[in-house]
Amino acid sequence: MTRHLLIVGAAFAALSLAACGDKTETKGAATPAEQAATPDANPAATVPTMADETKADVFAMKAADLNMFEIEAAKLAASRSTNAEVKAFAAKMETAHGKTGDSLKAAIAASGAAITVPAMLSKDMQDDLDDLTKASNEDFDKAYADAQVDAHQAMLNLLQRYAQDGDTPAIKAFAAATAPTVQEHLNMAEGLKKGFVN
Protein backbone atom coordinates (compact mmCIF):
# COMPACT_ATOMS: atom_id res chain seq x y z
CA MET A 1 0.00 0.00 0.00
CA THR A 2 2.78 2.41 0.93
CA ARG A 3 4.62 1.57 -2.28
CA HIS A 4 1.43 2.19 -4.27
CA LEU A 5 0.99 5.60 -2.60
CA LEU A 6 4.62 6.47 -3.35
CA ILE A 7 4.12 5.60 -7.02
CA VAL A 8 0.90 7.64 -7.19
CA GLY A 9 2.64 10.51 -5.38
CA ALA A 10 5.61 10.38 -7.74
CA ALA A 11 3.27 10.33 -10.75
CA PHE A 12 1.34 13.30 -9.35
CA ALA A 13 4.59 15.22 -8.77
CA ALA A 14 5.77 14.43 -12.29
CA LEU A 15 2.46 15.67 -13.73
CA SER A 16 2.68 18.83 -11.63
CA LEU A 17 6.19 19.51 -12.87
CA ALA A 18 5.10 18.86 -16.44
CA ALA A 19 2.23 21.32 -16.00
CA CYS A 20 4.64 23.90 -14.59
CA GLY A 21 6.94 23.25 -17.52
CA ASP A 22 4.06 23.87 -19.93
CA LYS A 23 3.36 27.19 -18.31
CA THR A 24 6.99 28.18 -18.58
CA GLU A 25 7.14 27.21 -22.24
CA THR A 26 4.04 29.20 -23.20
CA LYS A 27 5.30 32.23 -21.30
CA GLY A 28 7.64 33.04 -24.19
CA ALA A 29 4.72 33.10 -26.62
CA ALA A 30 2.60 35.67 -24.81
CA THR A 31 -0.62 36.80 -26.39
CA PRO A 32 -0.79 40.37 -27.73
CA ALA A 33 -2.91 41.32 -24.72
CA GLU A 34 -0.26 39.93 -22.33
CA GLN A 35 2.50 41.68 -24.26
CA ALA A 36 0.62 44.98 -24.11
CA ALA A 37 0.16 44.53 -20.35
CA THR A 38 3.93 44.15 -19.91
CA PRO A 39 5.50 46.64 -22.35
CA ASP A 40 8.92 46.43 -20.64
CA ALA A 41 9.16 42.77 -21.59
CA ASN A 42 8.38 43.56 -25.23
CA PRO A 43 9.26 47.08 -26.41
CA ALA A 44 7.50 46.48 -29.74
CA ALA A 45 4.21 46.22 -27.85
CA THR A 46 4.41 49.95 -27.06
CA VAL A 47 4.26 50.92 -30.74
CA PRO A 48 0.73 52.19 -31.39
CA THR A 49 -1.29 50.31 -33.97
CA MET A 50 -3.55 51.90 -36.54
CA ALA A 51 -6.54 51.01 -34.33
CA ASP A 52 -4.94 52.95 -31.46
CA GLU A 53 -4.90 56.08 -33.65
CA THR A 54 -8.64 56.47 -33.08
CA LYS A 55 -7.87 57.18 -29.42
CA ALA A 56 -7.38 60.87 -28.64
CA ASP A 57 -4.09 60.51 -26.77
CA VAL A 58 -2.40 58.36 -29.44
CA PHE A 59 -3.71 60.57 -32.24
CA ALA A 60 -2.55 63.76 -30.51
CA MET A 61 0.94 62.36 -29.88
CA LYS A 62 1.38 61.24 -33.49
CA ALA A 63 -0.11 64.42 -34.95
CA ALA A 64 2.12 66.60 -32.76
CA ASP A 65 5.15 64.51 -33.67
CA LEU A 66 4.56 64.80 -37.43
CA ASN A 67 3.79 68.49 -37.04
CA MET A 68 7.03 69.15 -35.15
CA PHE A 69 8.94 67.27 -37.83
CA GLU A 70 7.44 69.57 -40.48
CA ILE A 71 8.55 72.66 -38.57
CA GLU A 72 12.08 71.38 -37.90
CA ALA A 73 12.51 70.18 -41.49
CA ALA A 74 11.33 73.58 -42.75
CA LYS A 75 13.89 75.35 -40.57
CA LEU A 76 16.57 73.05 -41.91
CA ALA A 77 15.51 73.72 -45.50
CA ALA A 78 15.57 77.47 -44.87
CA SER A 79 19.22 77.24 -43.85
CA ARG A 80 20.42 74.52 -46.24
CA SER A 81 18.59 74.99 -49.53
CA THR A 82 19.73 77.33 -52.28
CA ASN A 83 16.58 76.71 -54.33
CA ALA A 84 14.09 79.60 -54.16
CA GLU A 85 11.08 77.30 -54.64
CA VAL A 86 12.20 74.99 -51.82
CA LYS A 87 12.86 77.94 -49.52
CA ALA A 88 9.42 79.43 -50.25
CA PHE A 89 7.72 76.08 -49.61
CA ALA A 90 9.65 75.63 -46.37
CA ALA A 91 8.64 79.10 -45.16
CA LYS A 92 4.98 78.27 -45.80
CA MET A 93 5.33 74.96 -43.96
CA GLU A 94 6.93 76.53 -40.90
CA THR A 95 4.13 79.10 -40.62
CA ALA A 96 1.29 76.71 -41.42
CA HIS A 97 2.46 73.95 -39.11
CA GLY A 98 3.03 76.43 -36.31
CA LYS A 99 -0.67 77.28 -36.60
CA THR A 100 -1.58 73.60 -36.80
CA GLY A 101 0.27 72.93 -33.55
CA ASP A 102 -1.62 75.77 -31.84
CA SER A 103 -4.93 74.47 -33.21
CA LEU A 104 -4.21 70.97 -31.94
CA LYS A 105 -3.47 72.29 -28.45
CA ALA A 106 -6.69 74.35 -28.54
CA ALA A 107 -8.70 71.29 -29.60
CA ILE A 108 -7.22 69.25 -26.77
CA ALA A 109 -8.06 72.00 -24.29
CA ALA A 110 -11.62 72.26 -25.65
CA SER A 111 -12.06 68.50 -25.36
CA GLY A 112 -11.18 68.49 -21.67
CA ALA A 113 -8.85 65.54 -22.28
CA ALA A 114 -5.76 65.32 -20.06
CA ILE A 115 -3.28 65.12 -22.93
CA THR A 116 0.11 66.81 -23.01
CA VAL A 117 1.67 66.83 -26.46
CA PRO A 118 5.38 65.99 -26.67
CA ALA A 119 7.93 68.79 -26.74
CA MET A 120 10.55 66.67 -28.54
CA LEU A 121 10.49 64.54 -31.66
CA SER A 122 10.02 60.80 -31.31
CA LYS A 123 13.03 58.64 -32.15
CA ASP A 124 11.59 57.78 -35.58
CA MET A 125 10.96 61.40 -36.51
CA GLN A 126 14.34 62.47 -35.12
CA ASP A 127 15.97 59.76 -37.23
CA ASP A 128 14.17 61.11 -40.31
CA LEU A 129 15.35 64.62 -39.50
CA ASP A 130 18.90 63.35 -38.94
CA ASP A 131 18.82 61.62 -42.34
CA LEU A 132 17.77 64.90 -43.92
CA THR A 133 20.55 66.73 -42.07
CA LYS A 134 23.10 64.25 -43.41
CA ALA A 135 22.03 64.73 -47.04
CA SER A 136 24.72 66.30 -49.19
CA ASN A 137 24.20 69.83 -50.47
CA GLU A 138 23.60 68.41 -53.96
CA ASP A 139 20.96 65.97 -52.72
CA PHE A 140 19.33 68.08 -50.01
CA ASP A 141 16.48 69.63 -52.01
CA LYS A 142 15.36 66.27 -53.41
CA ALA A 143 15.67 64.63 -49.97
CA TYR A 144 13.60 67.43 -48.44
CA ALA A 145 10.90 67.14 -51.12
CA ASP A 146 10.76 63.36 -50.66
CA ALA A 147 10.47 63.74 -46.88
CA GLN A 148 7.69 66.30 -47.29
CA VAL A 149 5.62 63.98 -49.46
CA ASP A 150 6.05 61.13 -46.97
CA ALA A 151 5.31 63.23 -43.88
CA HIS A 152 2.28 64.97 -45.36
CA GLN A 153 0.84 61.68 -46.60
CA ALA A 154 1.29 60.18 -43.12
CA MET A 155 -0.33 63.24 -41.52
CA LEU A 156 -3.23 63.21 -43.99
CA ASN A 157 -3.89 59.51 -43.36
CA LEU A 158 -3.80 60.11 -39.61
CA LEU A 159 -6.18 63.09 -39.78
CA GLN A 160 -8.67 61.40 -42.08
CA ARG A 161 -8.75 58.25 -39.95
CA TYR A 162 -9.33 60.22 -36.76
CA ALA A 163 -11.90 62.53 -38.35
CA GLN A 164 -13.89 59.44 -39.29
CA ASP A 165 -13.37 57.12 -36.31
CA GLY A 166 -11.94 59.24 -33.50
CA ASP A 167 -13.26 59.05 -29.96
CA THR A 168 -13.28 62.74 -28.95
CA PRO A 169 -15.57 65.25 -30.76
CA ALA A 170 -13.47 68.41 -30.36
CA ILE A 171 -10.34 66.63 -31.59
CA LYS A 172 -12.30 64.99 -34.42
CA ALA A 173 -13.39 68.47 -35.51
CA PHE A 174 -9.75 69.58 -35.52
CA ALA A 175 -8.78 66.58 -37.66
CA ALA A 176 -11.60 67.19 -40.13
CA ALA A 177 -10.80 70.90 -40.41
CA THR A 178 -7.05 70.34 -40.80
CA ALA A 179 -7.12 67.53 -43.37
CA PRO A 180 -7.91 69.75 -46.42
CA THR A 181 -4.97 72.03 -45.63
CA VAL A 182 -2.65 69.06 -45.30
CA GLN A 183 -3.99 67.74 -48.62
CA GLU A 184 -3.00 71.09 -50.20
CA HIS A 185 0.46 70.81 -48.65
CA LEU A 186 0.78 67.26 -49.97
CA ASN A 187 -0.14 68.42 -53.48
CA MET A 188 2.46 71.18 -53.22
CA ALA A 189 5.10 68.74 -51.93
CA GLU A 190 4.38 66.34 -54.78
CA GLY A 191 4.80 69.21 -57.25
CA LEU A 192 8.08 70.13 -55.58
CA LYS A 193 9.26 66.52 -55.76
CA LYS A 194 8.53 66.30 -59.49
CA GLY A 195 10.98 69.13 -60.05
CA PHE A 196 13.81 66.93 -58.75
CA VAL A 197 13.03 63.75 -60.68
CA ASN A 198 16.01 62.89 -62.88
Angle at 82 between CA 77 and CA 83, to 5 degrees: 85
As a whole number of angstroms, the distance between CA 144 and CA 79 comes to 12
Class of domain 54-194: mainly alpha
Q: Is 30 helix (H, G, I), strand (E, B) or coil?
A: coil
Q: What pTM was estimated for this model as a whole?
A: 0.73
Contacts of 90 (CB under 8 A, 6+ apart): 73, 74, 75, 77, 78, 81, 144
Question: Tens digit of pLDDT per residue, the chain (198 long)?
Answer: 444 433 444 444 443 434 444 444 444 444 444 444 444 444 444 445 566 888 999 999 999 999 999 999 999 999 999 999 999 999 999 999 999 999 999 999 999 999 999 999 999 999 999 999 999 999 999 999 999 999 999 999 999 999 999 999 999 999 999 999 999 999 999 999 998 865
Structure confidence at residue 143 (pLDDT): 96
Contacts 24+ apart (CB under 8 A), 123-126: 125/65, 125/66, 125/68, 125/69
Sign of CA dihedral 185, 187, 190, 192: negative
